[in-house]
A and B are shown apart, each in its own frame.
Chain A
């Protein structure tokens, strides 16, 4: 399976998914109006990855901003990760002064059944 790499724009995040290491990183800002359109290839890639993951997976979420249109898709991403049978975790990064982003991570962790690790930057 090939890696997935999408360069960031002013309103979409950088996507860097490496199936050989199991490190899946989403970073930057996610503010697209058409979140479903932007994330379609990301979700397709993840669905395929979820059935073929060979080792443990870590989804690193390093978001500065995300809009509510993205939040629904982020939950969809977590729901796919949740189904991976091998070890998996989410690493949720937030600015140490950004309580809203910390809380957003905690809320996602209450909805899905994946271990969350929190890191500040």
Chain B
């Protein structure tokens, strides 16, 4: 048995990251403190990149909403590893920054989540603006502290359609994958 047995994943993981143009990956627990640290690290990463400040700001804003979404909805069953770990990634290619997240959700929440996301994707710029203003005026802060505005804000900052999928984990839960793109060149 060589000393390198079981080390192949290191290279594979590295290669996966390079092949997918990933510049930051965090996998694990999402507490408020960790969320804050990931955000600061990502911000520092961005600072060193030659990019329009407006693009950086959009990326940062979307990161905040994504991370806080995961944090808010990922603390249901603290004992259970499935609910305690999620993934957050940033990729950068020629045209776009992609902010990608994945976390477990109960299947019973899928229909309403899917409905909300597809409603957002059906709207144009003006429609999103109106939805945002309506929600801002009418929604009360939910008990978890969110105003339910997160996804709408993400869609507005992005200017692209939101991408998402639900990968089955077991009969009760699924892994919610969510990607937002921010164009690097003004369209």
Taking the complex as formed, is B8 at the interface, i.e. its CB lies under 8 A from any CB of chain A?
no
User: Which one of B36, B58, B145, B157 lies within 8 Å of A34 (CB-CB)?
Assistant: B145
Q: B-side binding surface: helix, strand, loop or mixed?
A: helix
**Does A111 have its Cβ within 8 Å of any Cβ on chain B?**
yes
Cβ contact within 8 Å between A71 and B147: yes
Chain A, residues 93-121, CB within 8 Å of chain B (1/0): the string is 00101111100000100110000000000
Q: Which residues of A in the span 32-57 have a Cβ within 8 Å of any Cβ on B? A: 33-37
Q: Would you call B133 and A36 a contact (CB within 8 A)?
A: no
Determine the residue in chain B with the shortest Cβ distance to A72.
B147
The complex places the Cα of A68 from the Cα of B65 at a distance, in Å, of 7
Q: Would you list which residues of chain B between 57 and 98 have a CB under 8 Å from chain A?
A: 57-58, 60-61, 64-65, 68, 71-72
A-B contact pairs, 28 of them (CB 8 A): A10-B40, A11-B36, A31-B64, A33-B32, A33-B71, A35-B141, A35-B145, A37-B145, A67-B61, A67-B68, A68-B152, A71-B136, A71-B147, A71-B153, A72-B149, A73-B141, A75-B136, A75-B137, A97-B54, A98-B54, A99-B54, A100-B58, A100-B61, A100-B157, A107-B129, A107-B136, A110-B133, A111-B137
